[in-house]
Amino acid sequence: MKLMGKIYPKNIEQQFAMDMLMDQSTTVKMMTGSFGSGKTFLACACSFAMLESGSVDKIMWVRNNIEVKDSNPIGFLKGSFQEKMSVWAMPLADHIGGKEMLDLYMQRGQIEVEHLGFLRGRDIKNTVIFCSEAEHLTREHVQLLLGRVGEGSILILEGDVRQIDAKAFERDNGLQAAIDRLKGNRLCAYMHLNESVRSETAKLADLLNIDQ
């Protein structure tokens, strides 16, 4: 597969996911999957395909800044707002050529990295609003994101409800609530990816699941 230009899916699941993401009849696209199933890559690739075709003006990367469970917080981050936020956008940078390319797209105004907490009151038009790690959203967070989708915009939520890093999202999981409650709505689409497409070593992560 490659990000820019033509996207070559690795399996039939990914082809179906690409079809869902590129379908212009839906404006809310939800995708879940296990470790290494390609959720972020596919969402990035299809977002950039829409950007390059002129279907949207920019990509807005949104993430709730939740650190990995049982890891130690690193504390205050120096630098500008964008420098602080770029730390949380590295999954996006990994798929577009690294931090230098991320910075370049941000300078051009084609990528906006935004904190979930600063979205209230926004009316975001002609944009792919891309929320990664969406298992770290409550129902109110998802409502907030849905309410920001303006004319010409779409919302992509992708995540894995097995990788929750805070109790609050176990009690009130917005991604799962959106999947359950928006199912069948003509503006919404959902797909779960099962097959890992990462390296053979990365696939070992699933062998440590406590439910297996």
Cβ atoms of residues 197 and 10 within 8 Å:
yes
pLDDT at 211: 59
188 pLDDT above the threshold of 80: yes
Residue 78 is predicted with a pLDDT of: 62
- Count of structural domains within the chain: 1
Q: How confident is the model at residue 200 (pLDDT cuts 50, 70, 90)?
A: confident
| Residue 168 confidence (pLDDT) | 83
- The set of residues, in sequence order, having a beta carbon less than 8 Å from that of 32 and lying 6+ positions away, is 39, 158, 159, 160, 161, 175, 179, 190, 191, 192, 193
Contact 123, 36 (CB under 8 A): no
User: Residue 198 above 90 pLDDT?
Assistant: no
The answer to whether position 152 is within a domain reads yes
Classify residue 88: in a domain, yes or no.
yes
Position 198 in a domain: no
Residue 16, pLDDT above cutoff 80: yes
Over residues 188-197, the mean pLDDT reads 90
Q: What is the pTM of this model?
A: 0.86
Q: Which two tokens stand for residue 90?
A: 């590295």
Cα separation, 130 vs 158, in Å, equals: 8
Instruction: Please tell me the predicted confidence (pLDDT) of residue 4.
Output: 46
Q: Does 117 reside within a domain? A: yes
59: CATH: 3.40.50.300
Q: How confident is the model at residue 84 (pLDDT cuts 50, 70, 90)?
A: low
188 part of a folded domain: no
| Poorest-pLDDT segment among 17-26, 33-42, 72-81 | 72-81
Q: Is residue 16 part of a domain?
A: no
Residue 90 has pLDDT above 90, yes or no: no
118 Cβ contact partners less than 8 Å away, ≥ 6 residues apart: none
Please name which of 178, 204, 68, 201 lies closest in space to residue 212, comparing C-alpha atoms.
Answer: 204
Res 162: pLDDT = 84
Residue predicted with more confidence, 15 or 207? 15
Q: Is the pLDDT of residue 102 over 80?
A: yes
Residue 201 pLDDT class (50, 70, 90 cuts): confident
Residue 184 lies in a domain: no
Q: Is residue 202 part of a domain?
A: no
Q: Which residues form the domain of 91?
A: 30-67+78-168
How far is residue 93's CA from residue 101's CA, in Å, rounded to a whole number?
A: 7
Lowest mean pLDDT among 14-18, 175-179, 191-195, 202-206: 202-206
